[in-house]
Amino acid sequence: MPGKLIVSALPGEVRAAVLTGDRLTDLLVLRDDGPPQAGDLFLARLLRFEKGLDGAFVELGLERPGLLPRQEMTGPLPAEGTTLPVKVLRAPGGDKGARVSAKLSPEEAERLTGRKAPARLPAENGPLLTLLRAAAPETVVTDDVALMNRLKAQTAVGNYDFTLHSDPAPLFEVWEIETQVEALLQPLVETPGGASLLIEPVQTLTAIDVNARRHDGRGGAAVQAREVNLSLVPEIARQLRLRAISGLIAIDFLALRKPEDRKAVAGALRKAVAGDPEPCQVFGLSPSGLLEMTRRRGRLPLHEVLCRPCGLGGRGWEKTPVTLAYEALRRAAAARSSGATKIGLRAAPPVAAALQGAQAAALEAVAERLGAPLAVVADPLVESYDLVLG
């Protein structure tokens, strides 16, 4: 079914959602000040070659050096201290640095000319173009005319039907995407049949628990367990992609005694992730229901883009002040489209600081769309932000 690509932009942030029908099937969130993503360009400095890794460590100006595999180099091995342009293939995460490639197009290398190593240059619509070409949507809807014109210039004429959303109502709200994005930050995933998934990322892996709950399967426990497991496989594959979960993934399916049932579930999962843009490897299913799989880290996991660690030992996640700042601006725009004539924001000091500092350009852009100033007041008694309507 031909889908739609919905692209909403504010200064410093681009969000893109692929819809198949009314169902969210892919999601991309890019932040100018966020951690490096696949496609970002760096002018790096070669530190040393590691024979055991058959690659070189390069300084990127990040917490950890990147790894440049030998097969991703061009020509002979550069000398230590050499500066060279590279592109991120795998985002850094955990205790691993970014994986990079020196195989760049002339246009990409040209963008790094004149910079001093180490230097970062966020990808110019790179991940967005990759998503656009992979999704091959029938229609592209965006609320940013400059972004629309850049995408038109970077794609073949006539391939896509571009539509500009000029209404003040937030684009993701209009297409009922916002609630679906919010759900991706929650651990519990309910399904129409009554079964559910519990998705919990921790430092070393992501655990996914399958729960039958109110599923009305018939024919006994064994038949129900097989039905529930198979029914949730497509949703597991969808959640992995939407949440950009990567690394080691442990899935606790309902226990299956019959080897043929276990093979059927593992085979169904392999088929479900076959079209994933990130390579996945699915291992066998144990009699207790435990299955291990891996997914390559391309994009940053959604919870790492939008949230920060919190709680005892940093084991939980909460939205960052920047995420709340953008959310507040979208809520303000939604209030204006609902008829409010005077709109202000009372925000927790960190959120107010973001709106008046790094996100000031986004605040100005929303005020321009609203046609009136959007006052922001820092209030330590506010947990995140409140709309002030008049």
Q: Are residues 158 and 115 in the same domain?
A: no
Any long-range contacts for 284-291 (C-beta under 8 Å, 24+ apart)?
Answer: 285/253, 285/256, 286/262, 287/255, 287/256, 287/257, 287/262, 288/255, 289/210, 289/229, 289/252, 289/253, 289/254, 289/255, 289/256, 290/250, 290/251, 290/252, 290/253, 291/250, 291/251, 291/253, 291/265, 291/266
DSSP characters over 141-168: EES-HHHHHHHHHHS-TTSSEEEE--SS
Q: What is the CATH number of the domain that holds 141?
A: 3.30.420.40
Predicted pLDDT at 259: 96
Q: What are phi and psi of 203, to 5 degrees?
A: -65, -35
Regarding whether 139 and 28 lie in a shared domain, the answer is yes
Of the three residues 121, 138, 163, the one that is the final residue of a domain is 121
Please write the tens of the pLDDT for every residue from 156-214.
766 789 999 988 889 999 999 999 999 999 999 999 888 999 999 988 899 999 998 65
Tell me the three state secondary structure of residue 201: strand
Is 9 in the same domain as 157? yes
- Indicate the number of domains in the chain: 4
Q: What is the CATH number of the domain that holds 384?
A: 3.40.1260.20
Say yes or no: 27 and 48 in one domain: no
- Residues 260 and 194 both lie in one domain: yes
131 domain-assigned: yes
Residues 28 and 112 in one domain: no
Residues 57 and 196 in one domain: no
- 246-263 mean pLDDT: 96
pLDDT tens across 124-133, in order?
667 888 899 8
Residue 307 lies in a domain: no
Range of the structural domain that residue 381 is part of: 320-389
Q: What does DSSP say about strands 4-10 and 139-142: parallel, antiparallel, or unpaired?
A: parallel
pLDDT at 390 over 70: yes
Instruction: Please indicate, yes or no, whether residues 346 and 272 belong to a single structural domain of this protein.
Output: no
Q: Is residue 96 part of a domain?
A: yes
Short-list 249, 243, 239, CA closest to 280? 249
User: Same domain for 275 and 204?
Assistant: yes
Task: Please write down the long-range contacts of 52-55, taking CB distance under 8 Å and 24 or more positions apart.
Answer: none
309 located within any domain: no
Look over the chain and give the mean of its residue pLDDT values, rounded to a whole number.
Answer: 91
For residues 293-320, b (16+ Cβ closer than 10 Å) or e, as one string?
A: bbbbbbbbbbbbbbbeeeeeeeeebbbb
- Same domain flag for 230 and 371: no
Which of 139, 156, 175 is where one domain is finished?
A: 175
Cis peptide bond N-terminal to 350, omega within 30: no
Buried b (16+ CB within 10 A) or exposed e, 201-234: beeeebbbbbbbeebebeeeeeebbbbbbbbbbe
Q: Pick the last residue of a domain from 295, 329, 360.
A: 295
Q: Is residue 312 part of a domain?
A: no
Q: Is residue 47 part of a domain?
A: yes
193 with 255, same domain: the answer is yes
For residue 308, being part of any structural domain is answered with no
Q: For the chain, first and last CA: distance in Å?
A: 44
**What pLDDT, on the 0 to 100 scale, is given for residue 108?**
82
Give the residue, 131 or 216, on which the prediction is more confident.
131
pLDDT 10s digits, 298-343: 888 999 999 999 988 777 899 999 999 999 999 998 887 777 778 9
The enclosing domain of 69 has a CATH number of 2.40.50.140
In a domain? residue 86: yes
Global pTM value: 0.87
pLDDT of residue 384: 97
Q: Does residue 19 sit in the same domain as residue 73?
A: no
